Each structure stands twice: as structure tokens, then as C-alpha cells.
Amino acid sequence: MAHLVAIQTPKGEWLSFVVAHPTNQVVGDVDVIGRKVPCFTFLRAWDGVPKAEAERLALSLKGVPRAARHAAILKASEGLRLSFAAGTQV
């Protein structure tokens, strides 16, 4: 199972990543489509993304317009298990 990782950047923008094997730090981990997880002010990660769906999910969330991204991430996390959270939401 992969993890859906949602971060809020210091500028308040929401980004999502699907990481197959996250480390404890998460920052610097590479997701299934080759993007590196940047520094964040707030992070949530959910476990339970089937590996067969990981790349499709990452690509579909990457294409969501900025204004709708947080809602799309929360919708995608439904049915997944919250595995960790860190930081302070902006």
C-alpha cells in the first residue's frame, strides 16, 4: 500500500503526493511519479492507496486546479487510514 501525502506550503498552497515507501521525515521522499516532497508547514498522510492505483491517483490530483486542490485531496482520502500528521495549518 502507498500513502497519500497532502502538504500545505509556507505560502498556503496545497500539494499532494503518493509515496510508495515514506520515511519518517517525508520531506525529500520521492513520489510514484518522480516528484520530491518539499518542505511544508502542515502535512497529513493517509495509508491504504493500492499500489496499482498509486500512479493514477498522483496524476489525477496533480491536474486539479489550485483552488479546488484541498477539497480533491480530502475526497481522495475518504476510506483511507490517517497514518500521520505534522505541523501547523496556515
- Number of structural domains the chain divides into: 1
pLDDT at 90: 78
Model confidence pLDDT, tens digit, residues 51-76: 999 999 999 999 999 999 999 999 99
Q: Could you list the residue range(s) of the whole structural domain that residue 47 is in?
A: 2-87
Model confidence pLDDT, tens digit, residues 15-59: 999 999 888 888 899 999 999 999 899 999 999 999 999 999 999
- Helix %, strand %, coil % of the chain (to 5): 25, 35, 40
Question: Of all helices (H) and strands (E), which one includes residue 8?
Answer: strand 2-8
